[in-house]
Structure 1
Amino acid sequence: MSAFLSAAGVLVAALASAAAVLLPPGRARSAVMVVALVLFPVLILGDQWHSHQIVDLRHSSGKLAALLAVGAVAVVALAAVFRRWPVLLPLAIVAVLPFRVPLHSGGDTANLLVPLYLVIAGGVLAVAVRDWSSPLPSRGRRHGPVLWLPRLLAAAVVLYALQSFYSDDFSKALQNSCFFLVPFTVAYALLADVEWDRRLLSWTLILVALEAVAFVLIGSVEYLSRSLFWNDAVIRSNEFHTYFRVNSVFWDPNIYGRYLALALVVVTTALLWVKDRRPFWLLTGAILVLWIGLAQTFSQSSFVALLGGLAVLAALRWSWRWTLAAVVVGVIGATLVVLLIGGKSVKLSDLPKRINIDTSGRGDLVSGGLELWSERPLGGYGSGSFQQAYREHRADQKAPVTISHTEPVTILAEQGVVGLALYLGLIVVALWTMGAGMWARAPGGEPTVLDAARAAVLATFVALLLHTLAYAG
């Protein structure tokens, strides 16, 4: 498959997924969702046509047929379940979100969200059958940030696809689009139809808490036995450190820590808004277990994310002024502790070097990313190109990895100011949408279940955003 045709295919898939979040429920929306999900595996197959796993499948028709049959049966079965019990679709998405399957992709072992892809495909098939028989009534007219959020999301997905045409690493751009942006956008469209009542919210909370506790139990077995189930890189690093990091069922301790941090924010939200005594003690016990699990990850970015999410909850539940004051004092105190640890003073001129050392060379990655942006400020080096561009243009930098670990820097280097402007606009509108009206409730007023759910969504979003500044990218 030629590079231009592949890029055109990525653009069509992005346009289809973008249309899915813009169109009202109906046959047209179902059609574009199907197009997006059909193109997704086709594009990946074309990109990885000469990888050894695809070559093996091409030379083993029986294995390929069996794999396709299993996938088709799974999707049809899930569609039948979701058609019969629509409430299970959002629960299934939440349930399978943490699970990845290691597959060979792009010369490396990629841990892909295969269970989530199957659930999304089953959901799309169920919705398509529904819309072609008895479609849902059209949504009411939207206003303000609720109107602009899907528009900006759609624009961001399409822009990423457009900037893959000139990317220094088109294969990476294709994989990011097909493995993440396109299916996640389709999932957004599916979840937009869901009626989040008290019962569904309660089941979602129970599901998140139970899964997180189960992951902590697995991680604790690793911690006590001093043995990890997978990821040779982490296994080797544990041999040279005084501390032992666990990853449970996740590939990376930081991703495991991020999941626990987000789960802690959700469970803490329920604890702050709960009125009954029995759930209070159950939630308290779950929080204690999750804190133990998070401590075993030694993930600094996850702790920062958790503290950010808890700060949002404190501001919503009590006072944003006192919360802001506490955050400022905490940041200043933490900075002083880090700088003065070991009893050595740090000169102001040596501060950047010290920060770079304390962050395992990420300061060089950030500065290198900014230099890449300065060379192509408007459109960057193209979607997914940071690693390739860094290696080609920043070979003098001695960094342990070539991923910026800071999302805005990655966007600047890959997509330029155009991409960053859209990214910031999407973040602002998302925060506006989730926080609209939440500060207007009179002090002392009784919060509802919906208030608690909205608080959890806003707090977890802030926590996730903070994590992308410290780890993702």
Structure 2
Amino acid sequence: MTDVAAVLGATGAPLVLIGSRRPLVLAGLGLIALAEASLVVSGPNAVSAARVGLGLVGLVGLVVFALLFARYPELVPLAILIAAPLRMPLDFGAAHRFYVGLPQGGETGRLLLLYGVVAAAAVALVLRLLLERDWSPPSLTREIALPLGALVSFAALSVLWSTADAAAQNLLQWFLLPFAVLVAVVARSPFPAWMPRAMAIAAVGLAMVFAGIGLVEEATQRLIFYTPSVQIGNAYSSFFRTTSLFRDPSLYGRHLVLAIAIVLTVAWYRKLGIALAALFVAFLFAGLFFSYSQSSLVALFAVAVFISVVAGDRVVRLVAAGTAVLVLAGGGAFVADKVAGASTQRVTSDRSRRIDLTAKVFRQHPLVGVGLGSQPKASQAVSKNGGPPTLFVSHTTPLTVAAELGVVGLALYLALLVGAAKALLRVFRIERAFGLALAAVFVALFVHSLFYSGFFEDPVTWLVLGVASSFLAAHGAPRSTAPT
């Protein structure tokens, strides 16, 4: 059934992303719905009275929100933004009396709230396509639609030759197909004038809550959610890493960096007072500091330099560039000094070993890779040391794409990055503050993904692409080759 779902998803994703006519979009949504249904049916405990009961309860909520989004489609992007980082602390399985219970050992649940919102938005889009004959659904901007549709389709097809069946099904069912629908529904939503302000308030407000919870964890030395590695690390290290409402400090730190990027942007363009912006940044950075996430700090530095170079004058750009050079030189010297007295593997906290193994997998399977979700298992196979697959995750998105999808997938990934950059540049030319905020968030996600996996698994990545397309459709932005 997974292979059938892969073919259905690979066919439906391009239709829903690239298609511009009603029948094509409806067909794409239908094929993805069939793919998801086949994955659910083929899963463990596929049919049970408890699952049917939960499904009926979820169906009621789905209908209510679908009707709401059909009446007010402009609420879709904002609702997805709010739901994107929130993982419901629920676990499902026959071990629980009523099939649902709280997860054990500090683990978080899935993005159930987000999936519900996306599903309701998809149903609302179907209703509008069928009933509003005088409405012309906007097409996704081609710079995003073409490479994204091709990448999702190829990644879905790679399940056919993937050697990690469970991981491939997990990525297909819970990330690839739902997030393709996410982009489609957001891109076809109206974009009112109040949207940039509302999205900025929602993103920063959520991050402030996350930072506050993280600071409480630091004060009490007790975590709410955590992975076993974080728990063990806190027990044996001299510092205490906080996670807030996330399972991992790096995921927590990533969301704080995104909010800081928004605050810095609106402060540069005088959309927010300097004093208030400084307070926001200080509070968010305090939460970020106690996560001790090195990848998040690198992403913060990169995005701060990016914003300064784009929004600042010539003097600011020179200072930012000089600071970047000094920091990179100092960091290089520090790493060289550490490596001189220890192994690279130890200095990089085992990242260098994972990178070497992933590169070896890519060299052995250069054309189409080992298939979706198979990189950790393939790296484990070429390693001389044992251990579970989780110890072989590359934590570097470009390398993971290369190993799992080969040169073909890597080319599509690079095409998507170029297309996204072009689309965000067009947004920036129309509305500088909003365009730079979107671009800064995308840059932060990309830089963070170079050191911690999750670029395509983070719904915010897909949301940025959908919002950029929605904005351009609402403003009727023509393609421009004028220099910036």
User: Does the pair score TM above 0.5?
Assistant: yes
Match of 2:358 in 1: 369
CA shift in 2, pair 1:138/1:197, >3 Å: closer
Task: Provide the TM-score with structure 1 as the length reference.
Answer: 0.85
Cα deviation per residue 1:69-106 (whole Å; 9 max; x = unaligned)? 1110111111122122222211110000001235469x
Cα deviation per residue 1:12-55 (whole Å; 9 max; x = unaligned)? 12321221111226354134224313422431441x32xxxx27
Aligned residue among 432, 439, 442 for 1:461: 442
Match of 1:82 in 2: 69
Q: Any unmatched runs of 5+ in structure 1?
A: 442-447
CA shift in 2, pair 1:81/1:437, >3 Å: closer
Aligned residue among 301, 307, 311 for 1:317: 311
Structure 2 Cα separation of the partners of residues 93 and 264 of structure 1: 20
Structure 1 Cα separation of the partners of residues 41 and 286 of structure 2: 42
Match of 1:137 in 2: 136
Contact 1:27 1:132 in 2 (8 A): no
After TM superposition, the structure 1 = structure 2 runs for residues 13-412 of structure 1, keeping only pairs within 5 Å, are: 13-24=9-20, 26-46=22-42, 48-49=43-44, 54=45, 58=47, 60-61=48-49, 63-101=50-88, 102-103=90-91, 111-135=109-133, 136-139=135-138, 146-233=141-228, 234-275=230-271, 277=273, 280-318=274-312, 319=314, 320=317, 322-340=319-337, 347=340, 354-396=343-385, 401-412=391-402
Q: Give the deviation of 1:211 after TM superposition.
A: 0.9
Q: What amino acid sits opposite 1:388 in the alignment? A: K
Cα deviation per residue 1:386-433 (whole Å; 9 max; x = unaligned)? 111122221437798110011121122212112112111211221222
Q: Any unmatched runs of 5+ in structure 2?
A: 94-102, 455-484
- Tell me the SS of whatever aligns to 1:100: coil
Structure 1 Cα separation of the partners of residues 328 and 419 of structure 2: 26
CA shift in 2, pair 1:425/1:28, >3 Å: closer
Q: What amino acid sits opposite 1:452 in the alignment? A: A
Counting matched residue pairs gives 436
- Tell me the SS of whatever aligns to 1:87: helix
Q: What amino acid sits opposite 1:407 in the alignment? A: T
Q: What amino acid sits opposite 1:335 in the alignment? A: G
Task: Provide the TM-score with structure 2 as the length reference.
Answer: 0.84
Structure 2 Cα separation of the partners of residues 420 and 206 of structure 1: 35
Structure 2 Cα separation of the partners of residues 212 and 413 of structure 1: 33
User: Percent same amino acid at aligned positions?
Assistant: 28
- Tell me the SS of whatever aligns to 1:17: helix
Contact 1:33 1:186 in 2 (8 A): yes
Contact 1:168 1:381 in 2 (8 A): yes
Contact 2:5 2:38 in 1 (8 A): no
Match of 1:444 in 2: none
RMSD of Structure 2 on Structure 1 (CA) = 2.5
Contact 2:427 2:435 in 1 (8 A): no
Aligned residue among 405, 410, 414 for 2:404: 414
Contact 1:386 1:403 in 2 (8 A): yes
Q: Give the deviation of 1:65 after TM superposition.
A: 2.5
- Tell me the SS of whatever aligns to 1:396: coil
Cα deviation per residue 1:166-200 (whole Å; 9 max; x = unaligned)? 11112212211221111111111111123434311
Q: What amino acid sits opposite 2:329 in the alignment? A: I
Structure 2 Cα separation of the partners of residues 20 and 272 of structure 1: 37
Contact 2:369 2:403 in 1 (8 A): yes
Q: What amino acid sits opposite 2:165 in the alignment? A: F
Structure 1 Cα separation of the partners of residues 34 and 278 of structure 2: 44
CA shift in 2, pair 1:45/1:339, >3 Å: farther
Q: What amino acid sits opposite 1:412 in the alignment? A: A
After superposing the two structures, state which structure 1 stretch, 119-128 or 96-105, moved more.
96-105
CA shift in 2, pair 1:217/1:138, >3 Å: closer
CA shift in 2, pair 1:334/1:69, >3 Å: same
